[in-house]
Structure 1
Amino acid sequence: MSDVATQPRVPARVVLLSLAALWACYFLVATLRGAVMGYDFVWPIFSRRLTICILSMLVMAAVWPLLQMLERKSGGVRLAIVLVGALPLALLLSVINEAVFSDMEMTQAYGSEQEAEAVKSGKVKISRDEAGNILVDLPTIVTQPVPAPPGTPSEDASAPTPPPAPEPTTTSDPNAHSITIHTNKTLGDSYARWGSVADYAFTRYFLVLAWAALYFALAKAEEARVAERREGEHRRAAAAAELRSLRYQVNPHFLFNTLNSLSALVMTGKQDDAETMIQTLSTFYRRTLSGDPTSDLKLVDEIELQKLYFEIEAVRFPNRLVSTIDIDDAVSNAMVPGMILQPLVENSVKYAVAATQRPVTIAIRAHRVDDMLELSVTDDGPGEKVKGVQGFGIGLGNVRDRLRARYGDAATISFGRREEGGFATVLRLPLQFGPSDAGPLELARA
């Protein structure tokens, strides 16, 4: 598909609204200008001006496809074409204005609508002589005798008979019923109408240029919106890819440790424990790999996964691993990134339980702090510092990167030794809830 076919277009609704706004402003300015110049607010002028605005808007809307063809042109080419092409369009709009107001001009010239109608009907003929004077030919006057009222002395039989009334006559003198209006106009005034058209064309020219500039600005804005939307989609895709990659880093790391534990169980002859671990591990991976690694889980489901992990590690450390879970019911449906607690619990097993021969308690707690969800994983082990790049180990670095990719700066992670002994990691992330009717994750036990 070509670039022309795929390039963003200004919606037709926006184009028509821009034209309507342009000519509405023109109508308002022209009306106010007439008020300032002393013209009366009369409907004939309003109706004709409104007609001109509607017709002009339709004519300019017809030019819209031509402007679309110029969107991919360079700025110089576009400017040259618009400057030249606006001339005939402005002239057409001026002719429309002259045609609509032509009858109003005749009415103003003859003084009233009745006089203008008389000129149109042919009862009065108006012309100009070579000096520019106006000649008005009046209709022929016919004189009729007026009968005397009854009872007057003229009806008396004894009265002398009046002479017969003369027959009505018409004059053949062409100047007998003509009026000459002397003016100061010359023959050059015959071009006044075209001068008026040119004057209106000049005004319309700048209106056309203004709308063309507005259209190209709207086209650029639409292009910027599409580019911003695509950039947002790319950012979301990149964030999803990063989340997916970080999520898949958790499972291989956990699997590596679990396989080492299985090897140790087999080598020490604990086949039953090894079989239990394999079955539990199979259930754990079936649940963690079946979902979308970029989607969130309800906290109660995340806790169920960690319980399953504790079962796996309890096979390795049956007398040393003690787990406690304290989840506030008010946040049990809060949404968290899947497997976000796994690296933290795994660190406690690695650096606390495996590093000592005494029982170690790993505690998971969750509660609400203002509008944030606070998750903590603590242990009472030796409290050795987790070594790694910039103070983060692999597990803590993974959690930090996932929180940044998912929440940006809205989520934080803090960790360190506890005063009473052991190590603590605290996560704070935005409190978001999922559907209240969905139950906890049901983990099948093989």
Structure 2
Amino acid sequence: MDYKKIADEISQKILSYHEDTSGWKVAKSTNNIIVSWKPSTEYSGSIYRGEGIIEEVPEKVIPFLYIDEHRNKWDKSLKHYSILEHIDQDTVICRSITDSHGMGLISSREFVDLVHIRRYEGGVVTTNGISIDYEKCPVNSSNVRGFNYPTGYICSPLPENPAHSKLVVYIQTELGGLLPRAVVESALPNNIISFITSVQEEIKKFYQDNSRMDYKKISDEISQKILSYHEDTSGWKLAKSPKDIIVSWKPSKEYSGNIYRGEGIIEEVPEKVIPFMYIDEHRRKWDKALKHYSIIDRIDQDTVISRSITHTYGMGLISSREFVDLIHIRRYDGGVVTTNTISIDYEKCPVNSSNVRGFNNPCGYICSPLPENPAHSKLVAYIQPELGGLLPQSVVESVLPSNVVSLIINVREGLKKCYQNGN
């Protein structure tokens, strides 16, 4: 299935709904939410439009709406929501099961949707979705399968207050089963109002809970440091160079050890390489250095908190370590995609006696298209970990070059398998 083509087509349709202001009729309105409708051009029912103001910027609103660990907490209309697969950085396949609604007139429904995030000029961020057949989640007798025709959210900064957003929701849903269309149409306006109200209320609570640590400020600072490491080509000394991978080092400015740089060619474009390296369902499969890896929180579309536990390495000299890291994805001109990482204290994952807690000083990956072959990339990895415990620094330094080589080799091999399998 050509997910990119589908995502492009649906994004264009959602934009066309937004630009066509004719024919809408008010179905229901509250003090600050308006729901309108008109006949759908996709099926025999109606398309509904809900409009409301959200007291956050679009780049914070949209991730809150579709990322599973957020949506499961706030969306009262769903009894299950999960992301089944990440197609790329901005495209996922998700599964949702609704609660019954309309005072029990409409039983729960299951949806499997392709959802694509797209940005436009002026800080506008959108989701663009449609139901699909997905072989890993077939229709079964446990749930009535519904179908979402092109649906989406368009979130735009308010001109009079750019720290707030206007959220516009478009839905056109076939619920399946034997429900009369009139029953469905009578319930949908209330559902949209409840949805927008839940977003307005819950997003305030979420960002109040996360305001104690300024993740954006940290992300900006670490991104700047990783870029500075990349631009400063002086002082690097060769540590290891098997075949077509080069590992270099120089004294770190962050701690008493060294910073290591690994360089290698990856046969994929940066926009495929970087998600593969940090998204948990991929990394758990390819990174042989880790016995556990999970994303434990998503701060926004491009920022996550991860937890990783290493295997022992250095022939058992170094026991397993646990890291809790802030990871921020940043893009630059010319198709360059980067990760920018530092270990943090995170109250939901405190230090415990089960694992030695390590600390990653600013580290990251910079992935750039090869000028001579833009379908391939040059990957440069920067690492400078403090492993904690009572290990002599010399033991740590002796094994890190081999670990960097193994990382790049594992990425190459894992990527080939992943995209050969159609992911």
Q: Does the alignment reach a TM-score above 0.5?
A: no
Bigger Rg, which one: 1
Q: TM-score, normalised by structure 2?
A: 0.22
Q: TM-score, normalised by structure 1?
A: 0.21
